Amino acid sequence: MTNITILIIGALLSISILYLVRKGKMHGPYATWWLLVAVTAIILSIFPGIIDWVAAQVGITYPPTLLLLVSICMILVRMLTMDMALTQKERKIRRLTQKMAILEDHIIQHKKDDGQS
């Protein structure tokens, strides 16, 4: 039963992502990440044995812990990269704002010079 739930969640997620890309509300790298998440959910729901097998390999006796641990790690990694992306954006916005003020002054100066000559 759980497997079917996860399968449905995975399927819904994939459809939503594709829909968002189609509507232009999500772009390249983000869409890829979320599609990977959806595909992983679908694969795991079809072959739940994978988790048990991997858990056995790394010596975890209760397999669901592995799933939870890996998911939390992935979320943390994702959040970290999000903050890095935000920092980049902040820097770009600041530089753009500064450049805009400088160019605006440049234009005004030019207009004044044109008016005088």
CB of 65 to another protein, least distance (A): 33
The answer to whether 45 touches 53, Cβ cutoff 8 Å, is no
CB of 103 to another protein, least distance (A): 10
Question: CA 59 to CA 115: how far, in whole Å?
Answer: 80
Q: Could you write out the DSSP letters of every residue in 1-57? A: -HHHHHHHHHHHHHHHHHHHHHTTSS-HHHHHHHHHHHHHHHHHHH-THHHHHHHHH
Q: Does 95 bind another protein (CB under 8 A)?
A: yes
The binder of another protein chosen from 3, 16, 32, 97 (CB under 8 A): 97
Q: Which range in 7-15, 59-67, 75-83, 91-99 contacts another protein by CB under 8 A?
A: 91-99
Q: Does 89 bind another protein (CB under 8 A)?
A: no
CB of 87 to another protein, least distance (A): 7
